[in-house]
Amino acid sequence: MDMMILFIATFCGLGSSLTEVDNLGQIGESLGYPTKTISTFVSLVSIWNYFGRGFSGFVFDLMVKWKVPRTLMMTFMLVLSSLAYLSTAFPFPGSVYVASVIIGVSFRAQLTLLFTIISELFGLKY
């Protein structure tokens, strides 16, 4: 059961984030942003993707010392991603900038958490 829950969360969470990252240019174009601004969105995702990976491992290890389970952290990242999807789907001025940052951080943080959660739940046998 744990594997199915993890698979569904990963499929929905990482799949949705990857879809938004891949289509960010088209999203910006359909919302009427100029080409230079669309390039800024893509750059923001890339930059914050890096920071999401670097800082998420550090922050999540600190939170584990406070007995916060990593699965709860994954849930928080999925909720954060959902807020970014909503701000892209129902845009307001500047919302795509914020969504780009949130998607960048949460996408890489989810990916970083996934492998750690798998090793915690199922062990390091293989």
67-116 pLDDT per residue, tens:
999 889 999 999 999 999 999 999 888 899 999 999 999 999 998 899 88
Higher pLDDT, 22 or 124: 22
Domain membership of residue 5 (yes or no) is: no
Taking all residues of the chain, what is their mean pLDDT, rounded to a whole number?
90
Domain membership of residue 106 (yes or no) is: yes
Domain membership of residue 2 (yes or no) is: no
Separation CA 56–CA 28 (nearest Å): 27
Domain membership of residue 3 (yes or no) is: no
Tell me if 48 sits within 8 A of 101, measured CB to CB.
Answer: yes
Q: Where in the sequence is the domain holding 51, given as residue range(s)?
A: 13-122
Domain membership of residue 8 (yes or no) is: no
pLDDT confidence bin for 46, thresholds 50/70/90: very high
SS3 assignment, position 124: coil
Verdict on whether the full-model pTM lies above 0.85: yes
* 55-68 tens-digit pLDDT: 888 888 888 899 99
Domain membership of residue 27 (yes or no) is: yes
Q: In total, how many domains does the chain have? A: 1
DSSP state of 4: H
pLDDT at position 26: 93
pLDDT at position 57: 83
DSSP notation for 68-126: --HHHHHHHHHHHHHHHHHHHHS--TTHHHHHHHHHHHHHHHHHHHHHHHHHHHH-S--
